[in-house]
Chains A and B, each alone.
Chain A
Amino acid sequence: MESHFKSFICVLLSLTTFSCNISEIETELPIPYRGDFLVLHGFICQGEGVRLILQKTVPHSCNECSNKVSNGVVSLYENGTYLFDLNTDDGYLYNSPSSFSPTVGSQYHVKAEADGMACAISSTVSPMQIVSVDTAYISTTETPYKVKVHYCFTDIPFERNQYIVRILAGDEDEFMWGTPNMFDNVIGDEVSNNGIIEGVSIFILNSNLDEIKVMLYHLSSPLVQYLYSRQQNMFSEEDPFGEYPVPVLCNISNGYGFFGSYAKDTYTIRF
Chain B
Amino acid sequence: MNRLKRLVFISILSSFPAHGGSLQAQSHNVYGYVKYKGSEEGIPYAYCINLNNRGITYTNHEGFFSLKSNGPTTLIFGFVGCQPDTVTISSLKDTLLTIYLNPHELEEVVVAYREKLHMQTILGKIAVPVSKIESSPTFAGVPDILKSLTYLPGITNGKEGFSHLYVRGGTSGQNLFLIDDAPLFTTNHALGLVSSINTEAIGNIDLYKGGFPARYGNCSSSILDIRMREGSRSEHEYKVEIGTLTAGATIGGPIVKGKTSYMVAARTTYFDVINIPKRIKYLDDLEYQLALQNDGISMISLNAFDINTKLSHQRTQNSKQYLNVFSSNDFYSAYNKSQGSDNNSGFNHHNLLVSAGSRRNYSSSLFVSTSAAYSLYSNTFFNELIYKDERDEHNKSSDQAKISYLSVKSSADYYFSSKMHYKFGVDVSAYAATPNIAQEIAKSASGTLRDTTYGQNFIFRAIHISSYVECEYKPFVKTSINIGLRASTFMDQGNEYIKLDPRVSYKTMLSEKTSLKTSYTLNHQFTHLLLSNFKGNPKEVWILSSHRVKPQEVHQIAAGFFGSGHHLDYGIEGFYKKMYNLVEYRFSGVGQNTGNIYDRISSDGQGEAYGVEFLCEKNSGKVRGTLAYTISWSERSFRDINQGEPFPFTYDHRHVLTLTSSITIQKGWEISSSFRFMSGQAFTLTDGYFAGNESFESHNLYSTINGYRLPPYHRMDVMLTHEWTSEKGSLKHFRLSIYNAYNRRNASYAHVNPSSGKLVLTSIFGIIPTISYGIAF
* Alpha-carbon distance between A250 and B702 when the two chains are bound, in angstroms: 10
Chain A residues with Cβ below 8 Å from B691 are 55, 58, 67
Assuming A228-B600, A229-B587, is B694 touching A176 (CB within 8 A)?
yes
Residue A72 at the B interface, CB < 8 A?
Answer: no
Q: Name the one of B532, B686, B695, B697 contacting A60, with C-beta atoms under 8 angstroms.
A: B686
A257 shortest CB reach to chain B, Å: 8
Determine which of B700, B706, B750, B757 lies in contact with A240 in the assembled complex, contact meaning CB atoms within 8 Å: B750
> In the complex, which of the residues A24, A39, A179, A246 has the most CB atoms of chain B within 10 Å of its own CB atom?
A246
Most chain B CB within 10 A, of A8, A233, A237, A240, is at A240
Q: In the docked arrangement, what's the CA distance between A29 and B757, Å? A: 9
Q: Identify B688's interface contact among A21, A34, A190, A232, CB under 8 A.
A: A34
Given A55-B690, A232-B588, A233-B699, also A202-B770 (CB < 8 A): no
A contact residues around B766 at 8 Å (CB): 20-23, 25
Q: Choose the segment among A107-115, A124-132, A140-148 that binds chain B (4+ C-beta atoms closer than 8 Å).
A: A140-148
Are A28 and B595 within 8 A (Cβ)?
no
- Contact, CB under 8 Å: A243 / B689: no
Query: For residue B534, which residues in chain A have a CB less than 8 angstroms away from its CB?
Result: 239, 241-242
Restricting to B425-470, which residues have a CB under 8 Å from any CB of A? Answer: 446-447, 449-450
Contacts of A166 in B (CB 8 A): none
In this assembly, does A91 line the interface, its C-beta being within 8 Å of a C-beta of chain B? no
Q: Say yes or no: A24 contacts B695, CB within 8 Å.
A: no
Q: Is the CB of A22 within 8 A of B768?
A: yes
Q: Are A237's CB and B595's CB within 8 A?
A: no
Interface assignment of A30: CB less than 8 Å from any CB of chain B: yes
- Cβ-defined contact, B695 with A179, below 8 A: yes
**Centre residue among A61, A177, A202, A250 by max chain B CB count within 10 A:** A202
Interface size band for A: 35 or more
Q: Is the pair B588, A24 in contact by a Cβ cutoff of 8 Å? A: no
Interchain CB contact under 8 A, A61 and B756:
yes
Which of A23, A230, A245 contacts B686, CB < 8 Å? Answer: A245
Is B591 a contact partner of A235 (Cβ separation < 8 A)?
yes
Determine, out of B68-76, B147-155, B560-568, B741-749, the stretch whose residues face the partner at the interface: B741-749
Q: Given A240-B749, A240-B750, A244-B706, A41 and B693 touching (CB < 8 A)?
A: yes
A230: chain B residues at CB < 8 Å are 697, 699
In the bound complex, CA of A236 to CA of B771 (Å): 37
Distance between Cα atoms of A29 and B683 in the complex (Å): 15
Flag whether B299 is at the interface (Cβ < 8 A): no
A28 CA to B761 CA, complexed, in Å: 6
Rounded to whole angstroms, the CA-CA distance of A141 and B537 in the bound complex is 40
> Closest Cβ of chain A: how far from B330's Cβ, in Å?
17
A-B contact count (CB 8 A): 204
- The answer to whether B596 touches A188 (Cβ under 8 A) is yes
Give Cα distance in the complex from A110 to B692, angstroms. 20
The tally of residues in B whose CB lies under 8 Å from a CB in A reads 70
For the complex formed, measure the closest distance between the CB of A138 and the CB atoms of chain B, giving whole angstroms.
15
A163 touches B (CB below 8 Å): no
CB pair A53 B693 closer than 8 Å: yes
Tell me which residues across on chain A come within 8 A of B643, comparing CB atoms.
250
- Flag if B753 contacts A28 (CB, 8 Å): yes
B533 interface residue, CB < 8 Å from A?
A: yes
Q: Indicate if B762 sits at the interface (CB-CB under 8 A).
A: yes
Q: B701 to A225, Cβ gap below 8 A?
A: no
The answer to whether residues A225 and B533 also contact, given A15-B771, A245-B684 and a CB cut-off of 8 A, is: no
A residues less than 8 Å from B536 (CB atoms): 239, 241
How many Å lie between the Cα of A16 and that of B273 in the bound state?
13
Known contacts A179-B695, A244-B683: does B588 contact A235 (CB below 8 Å)?
Answer: yes
* A55 surroundings in chain B (CB, below 8 A): 690-691, 693
Once bound together, how far apart are the Cα atoms of A60 and B755, in whole Å? Answer: 9
Given the contacts A31-B759, A188-B596, A246 and B588 also touching, CB distance less than 8 Å = yes
What's the Cα separation between A109 and B537 when bound, in Å? Answer: 42
Cβ contact within 8 Å between B758 and A60: yes
B446-A31 in contact (CB<8A)? no
Chain A residues positioned under 8 Å from B535 (CB to CB): 239, 241
Q: Mark A10-50, 1 if CB is under 8 A from B, else 0.
A: 01100110011111111111111111010101000000000
Residue of A nearest to B682 (CB): A244
Inside 8 A of A30's CB, which chain B residues have their CB?
Answer: 758-759
* One of A26, A232, A237 near B700 (C-beta < 8 A): A237
Cβ distance A113 to chain B, nearest Cβ, rounded Å: 19
Q: Bound state CA distance, A34 and B703, in angstroms?
A: 8
For the complex, is B685 an interface residue (Cβ under 8 Å from A)?
yes
A21-B588 contact, Cβ under 8 Å, with A16-B244, A32-B685, A142-B446: no
Q: Do A245 and B590 touch across chains, with their CB atoms under 8 A apart?
A: no
With A15-B244, A146-B446, A190-B596 known as contacts, the answer to whether A248 contacts B757 (CB < 8 A) is no
Question: Which among B533, B688, B753 is the interface contact of A241 at CB below 8 angstroms?
Answer: B533
User: Is the beta-carbon distance between B590 and A21 smaller than 8 angstroms?
Assistant: no
CA distance A11 to B703 in the complex (A): 52
Tell me, in angstroms, the Cα distance from A28 to B763 when the chains sit together.
12
Residue-by-residue, is A177-216 near B (CB-CB < 8 Å gives 1, otherwise 0)?
1010000001010100000000000100000000000000
B689–A15 CB distance below 8 A: no
Q: A27 touching B693 by the CB < 8 A rule? A: no
A256 interface residue per 8 A CB criterion? yes
Query: B686 contacts which chain A residues (CB < 8 A)?
Result: 31, 60, 245
Instruction: Check B447–A175 contact: CB distance below 8 A.
Output: no
Q: Which of A12, A53, A236 has the most CB of B within 10 A?
A: A236
Is A57 engaged at the interface, CB distance under 8 Å to the other chain?
A: yes
Q: Min CB distance, B583 to chain A, in Å?
A: 14
Whether B531 contacts A248 by the Cβ 8 Å rule is no
Is A242 a contact of B771 with CB atoms below 8 Å?
A: no
Residue B82, interface by CB 8 Å: no
When chains A and B are docked, how far (Å) is the Cα of A88 from the Cα of B458?
Answer: 48
Known contacts A30-B758, A31-B687, A31-B757; decide if A246 and B587 are in contact (CB<8 Å).
yes
Asked whether any CB of chain B lies closer than 8 Å to the CB of A247, the reply is yes
Whether A237 pairs with B751 at a CB distance below 8 angstroms is: yes
Give complex CA distance A43, B766 in Å: 50
Q: Tell me the bound Cα distance from A179 to B696 in angstroms.
A: 10
- Closest chain A residue to B600 by CB distance? A228
Q: Measured between C-beta atoms, what is the minimum distance from B96 to chain A in Å?
A: 50
Most chain B beta carbons < 10 A, residue from A20, A60, A176, A188: A60
Chain B residue nearest in CB terms to A248: B699
**How far, in whole Å, are A206 and B768 apart by their CA atoms in the complex?**
59
Contacts of A241 in B (CB 8 A): 159, 533-537, 749
Contact A240 B762 (CB under 8 A): yes
> Is the beta-carbon distance between B764 and A53 smaller than 8 angstroms?
no
Interface readout for A48-78 with B: 1 if CB under 8 Å, 0 if not? 0000010101111111000100000000000
Docked pose: A8 CA to B600 CA in angstroms: 53
> A28 to B758, Cβ gap below 8 A?
yes
Q: Which of A53, A141, A228, A240 lies in contact with B695, CB distance below 8 A?
A: A53
**Most chain B CB within a 10 A radius of its CB, from A62, A179, A228:** A228
A231 within 8 A of B: yes
Looking at the assembled complex, report how far the CB atom of B89 sits from the nearest CB atom of chain A, in whole angstroms. Answer: 53
- In the complex, the chain B residue whose C-beta lies closest to that of A65 is B691
Q: Which residue of A lies closest to B242 (CB)?
A: A12
Q: Which residues of B contact A141 (CB under 8 A)?
A: 446-447
Q: Does B510 contact A (CB under 8 A)?
A: no
Enumerate chain B residues within 8 angstroms of A188, measured Cβ to Cβ.
595-596, 599
Instruction: Give the complex CA separation of A233 and B706 in angstroms.
Output: 16
Which 7 pairs across A and B sit closest by C-beta, in order of nearness?
A21-B766, A60-B757, A61-B757, A34-B687, A244-B684, A57-B688, A240-B751
New A-B contacts (14) at CB < 8 Å, excluding given A62-B757, A243-B532: A15-B244, A26-B762, A27-B747, A33-B687, A67-B691, A176-B695, A177-B695, A188-B595, A237-B751, A239-B533, A241-B534, A243-B650, A245-B700, A247-B702
Report 12 cross-chain contacts, Cβ distance below 8 Å, ordered by A residue. Answer: A21-B768, A25-B762, A27-B761, A28-B760, A37-B688, A53-B695, A55-B691, A60-B689, A60-B757, A142-B446, A232-B590, A236-B588
Q: Which residues on B are within 8 Å of A, measured CB to CB?
A: 159, 244, 446-447, 449-450, 531-537, 586-588, 590-591, 595-596, 599-600, 643, 650, 683-691, 693-697, 699-703, 705-706, 743, 745, 747, 749-753, 756-771, 773
